[in-house]
Structure 1
């Protein structure tokens, strides 16, 4: 664990050094309008080997009757008793740029009491967007990453057999195109990590690249860039030039702690003011020795003695003779942690010490506890 912690700290230091170098603008954000859209729909999965919805699900039986009516078969919902069919919800994600005929992956989830979707096939299901318009049609054989079999009270299950996927199972019927340019002939670049300093640097780098004042930071997240008149017909080339502008982003001082795994990751330049840390260790353990008392081979009044089990307990208190003392004076978090590791301090104690240093106001960084 200590070796892992030390490697993570070295990784954080290496990342801090690499992050200080200029990087492409496209690596720290995206263009406004570049977003995905959620699609969903309702459908039926057929071909199940008796693992579909039970007859108690009237919605499933009604859906089967409605589907058969398309083929000129008049059957009431009460006549349908098949357990080879399951009602499902179908979800997919429509990419920012999609044309008719493109395929996307879909996820199929059971909404009834079906036990498994293994071996099923999704019947043609329309996928709608939030506006109620149909954008894609989904159909195909399901790929289930699990199973469930039961007989005579014995159940064997792996993963979730009521969730499946169809790679490339939906065909886009209505294409979409993200709108990148506003009515005022501007595009907006959005930072993934909002920061005023970085936004100002990005605007300055874009202006330096084109030799004129085109970009201005609107807030900590968005940088608005005016599209020159001679570039409005070549917007893709203009955005490509913007994305490849190099900039040195500002980096916030952060220390990330994961208490579940005992992991600490910090940038190598996170400063700590003058502080003293004292850390001790006390271990209390209860030890029980079980012994057997064997009687002598004698008898009294025709009865022989019996062996007795005796439990002897004792309390052991172990206190480490030395007490760890660390005096940090204008050091970094990396220096403090390396010192604690040399003192053979375990990871849990290091996490507690870092939280105490932050509470004392000596750590000049944002402490994130996951």
Structure 2
């Protein structure tokens, strides 16, 4: 059995250890660097092409109304050795389409990508169609991929003699792995000696925190915040000339992001989104609900007996105007977003009325936030 003095010394030691143990600071909106920045040069490239979808069940373009479809069909047949110049073409199984795709970064020759297909003419549906070989061009006019394959659509259309039904959009579709990459975009990430990190939500505080986190981790002044949206990093000597190793290490660092006080309003749908930094000074708000009721109750008037009058209908309108009594409510100065929401909800107003109230509070200067109307 331990001596009582020994037990007291052990308890005091444990208490002291708990007291001096480092406490992790509370982190609000913390995220990894890889989730809040884009790396310079690591990006997708958009591709576009023009092609033909064949095999449609009479739902293709009408060649009289779509001359580009007729010209494309004739040119394709001529390349295959079939001469149709001067001949009347009445097929409705062909549709002209635009084909789009995103070329992933560092995509290699021979790999595949998904492509999207959209009708260009007056085709009714692309269901059951097959896209013929279509070159996909980049912004520089060069061919980077070739697309071909059966088109899968998300909707359908059916039509009878007296009724029709359409679900979704049958004139757009997708070909999974329907594009074959023929040309690569030359960019050597590992050979770079410096790069820029682009913040997806630009902010001065977040940019500085990212630079500090990287420098603290590496122990050298490697990162420099250039502006709210950019942090430049230089390759330290001990990474053997490969910046990929550096990016692999720093992208896992956790940084607490900051954001400006902003309220986003969509007046069409009545949606209101507030950031956590929104603050409001003490302000009094009153809302008056004015209701106007109009009711028509026409009255039938009969003529006097033995008179030459006729039965008539006289209009009668009942007009009532009522205004609900609303007291002046005080929204106290808010410290948190929750208190602001609770204060506004206490008024018992609808989201659309809340939009007008927020704009009025902003006009008085009591709302410390930016209002963005979509």
Decide which moves more: 60-69 or 91-100. Answer: 60-69
Specify the alignment match of 1:357 in structure 2.
361
Decide whether aligned partners of structure 1 residues 86 and 352 sit closer, same or farther in structure 2, where only a CA change above 3 A counts: same
User: Residue 244 of structure 1 aligns with which residue?
Assistant: 252
Unaligned ranges ≥5, structure 1? 1-16
Q: Is the 8 A contact 2:261 2:276 kept in 1?
A: no
Structure 1 distance, partners of 2:58, 2:68, is 18
Q: 1:287 to 1:332 in 2, by over 3 A?
A: farther
Which residue is 1:127 aligned to? 136
| 1:58-69 alignment, distance < 5 Å | 58-69=67-78
C-alpha change, 1:97 and 1:279, in structure 2 (3 Å) is: same
Unpaired segments of 5 or more residues in structure 2?
1-24
Residue 116 of structure 1 corresponds to 125
Whole-angstrom distance in 2 between the partners of 1:135 and 1:364: 50
* Alignment partner, residue 174 of structure 1: 183
Q: TM-score, normalised by structure 2?
A: 0.82
2:195 pairs with 1:191 = no
Q: Is the 8 A contact 2:284 2:328 kept in 1?
A: no
1:223 lines up with 2:227 in the alignment: no
Instruction: Check conservation: 1:272, 1:333, Cα contact below 8 A.
Output: no
Partners in 1 of 2:341 and 2:155 — Cα distance? 44
Q: What secondary structure does 1:348 align onto?
A: helix
Q: RMSD of the alignment, in Å?
A: 3.1
Q: Secondary structure at the match of 1:218?
A: strand
Which deviates further from its counterpart, 89-98 or 262-271? 262-271
Question: Contact between 1:129 and 1:135, CA under 8 Å: does it hold in 2?
Answer: yes
1:313-351 alpha-carbon deviations (Å, 9 max, x no partner) = 312222223423215346555434322322322222222
Residues of 1 paired with 2:314 and 2:187: CA distance?
79
1-structure distance, mates of 2:195, 2:189: 6
Q: Which residue of 2 aligns with 1:325?
A: 329
Deviation (angstroms), 1:87: 1.8
Q: Give 2:169's aligned residue.
A: 160
Q: Distance in 2 between matches of 1:309 and 1:240?
A: 86
| Equivalent-residue separation in structure 1 for 2:84 and 2:263 (angstroms) | 65
Question: Are the equivalent residues in 2 in contact too, given 1:280–1:324 (CA < 8 A)?
Answer: no
Report deviation, 1:221: 0.9
Higher relative contact order (CA 8 A, sep 6+): 1
Q: Which residue of 2 aligns with 1:142?
A: 151
Counterpart in the other structure of 1:104 = 113
Give me the whole-angstrom Cα distance separating, in 2, the residues matched to 1:18 and 1:135.
Answer: 49
Give runs of aligned pairs for residues 27-42 of structure 1, distance below 5 A.
27-42=35-50
Q: CA deviation at 1:310?
A: 6.7
